[in-house]
Amino acid sequence: LEPLDPVRYMSNRSSGKMGYALAKAARRRGAKVTLVSGPTALKPPRDVTLCLVKTAEEMRQAVLAECRQYDVIIKAAAVLDWRPKETAEHKIKKGRGVQTLELVENPDILAELGCSRGNSPCILVGFAAETQDLIANAQEKLKKKNLDLIVVNDVSREDAGFEADTNAVKILYRDGHLEELPLMPKEEVAEQLLDRIKSLREKSL
């Protein structure tokens, strides 16, 4: 959430279901898990370290504080790309005519992680929520942000985008290999992704 004033904020339709499913599945496999979560109505998985944040900058600080102790980092959060340049101290009232909102870019947490990873064997996974040119946009993001793999889905689909309980994703690897998974519950998508991440991890050791 990026506040405009004490009453209003900028956000998106992401429910957090995919990230929570990944955290739950990883913990079930015995992993030590820290879940950095924005505001959501979801119940957090048991036995994970939960770090609640609101803004992109708060998420950045939390992720950077935790990242060096983990072998795998999965950035499934749909972080807002922009925030208001200024936040009003009091509620912006009607009657002042059309308001102009000036935006500034939020920190790119995933790119910062990719840039700072160096020779670390840590596996870095990103997500791309797209509505067009899915593969081209995912390829650019994977390369630009120095990822091991990226998971892309078409969020314009009602059965596989934000808020849905199911997802249909494409997995793009650093070597250019593309894998497409059929529509399935997000819990099963999480298991499938963790299988692939495990294989990458084993190859990197």
Rounded Cα distance, 170 and 72, in Å: 19
The total of other beta-carbon atoms located within 10 Å of residue 128's CB is: 23
**What is the DSSP secondary structure assignment for residue 145, as one 8-state letter?**
T
Half-sphere exposure of 149 (CA within 13 A, CB side): 22
**What is the DSSP secondary structure assignment for residue 12, as one 8-state letter?**
-
Rounded Cα distance, 102 and 96, in Å: 17
Provide the annotated active-site residues.
12
